[in-house]
Amino acid sequence: MGEFTTTIEHRLDQAYKNLQEARSTGDEYLADTLTAEIEDLRRLATDNGVPLQR
């Protein structure tokens, strides 16, 4: 697994964890921001042929 793939996976894991926390605390702005980040990371992964678990 390359460094790019590892970085994308790590950033996605962190974003999903932070999203769960934002939702549990009711922080809608942060949840929206993290959702956009997740979408961007998933698109970046797809565009570069990185297979995703989630």
Report yes or no on 51 lying in a domain: no
Domain-embedded: residue 30: yes
Q: Containing domain of residue 33, as a range?
A: 3-46
Cα three-residue angle 35-49-53, rounded to 5 degrees: 55
Please state the domain count of the chain: 1
Residue 53 has a pLDDT of 79
pLDDT confidence of residue 54 = 67
Within-domain flag for 53:
no
Q: Residue range 23-51: average pLDDT?
A: 97
pLDDT at 1: 65
Helix (H) or strand (E) holding 21: helix 3-25
What percent of the chain lies above the pLDDT cut of 70? 96
pLDDT, average across residues 26-53: 96
The answer to the question of residue 52 being in a domain is no
What pLDDT, in 10s, does the model give residues 7-31? 999 999 999 999 999 999 999 999 9
Counting every residue written for the chain, the total comes to: 54
